[in-house]
Amino acid sequence: MATTTATPASGTLQVISRVAASLLGSWLFVWGLTVLGISLGVWAGADYRQMESLMYLLAFPVFLVVFCWAYAAVSLKRVWLILAGGGTLMTAAAWLLIPSLAA
């Protein structure tokens, strides 16, 4: 039976990556969700200020949930993929939707 030992450097890197995922990844995910929510709401006919207020109110509990999930999840790769990847995709979708709002 083979045993694997983690070096202190890899453990430190895991902790740094987990903390970065929880802070930066959660922020990026919530930013993408907020921008996409505002854009979709305005596209659907809602007032910009109302959508902005609604999405800002939703941003805090969503950030809290994904922040805690980043520590509870087993796979660090999955955390980065969902938070950073999802945030990037939502931001890109909103960025593509915004020009249609000006017309």
Q: What is the mean pLDDT of each run of 10 residues along the chain (103 residues)?
A: 64 89 94 96 94 96 95 92 95 91 74
Residue 6: what pLDDT?
59
Q: Does residue 3 lie within any of the structural domains?
A: no
Q: Does residue 92 lie within any of the structural domains?
A: yes
Residue 62: what pLDDT?
97
What pTM was estimated for this model as a whole?
0.84
Residue 74 DSSP class: S
d(CA 34, CA 61): 12
Residue 103: what pLDDT?
63
Q: Does residue 45 lie within any of the structural domains?
A: yes
Residue 100: what pLDDT?
85
Q: Does residue 17 lie within any of the structural domains?
A: no
Q: Does residue 14 lie within any of the structural domains?
A: no
Q: Does residue 7 lie within any of the structural domains?
A: no
Q: Are 55 and 64 in contact (CB under 8 A)?
A: no
Q: Domain of residue 56: give its range.
A: 23-102
Q: Does residue 10 lie within any of the structural domains?
A: no
Total domains, the chain? 1
Q: Does residue 5 lie within any of the structural domains?
A: no
Q: Are 98 and 37 in contact (CB under 8 A)?
A: no
Q: Which residues contact 47 (CB under 8 A, 6 or more apart)?
A: none
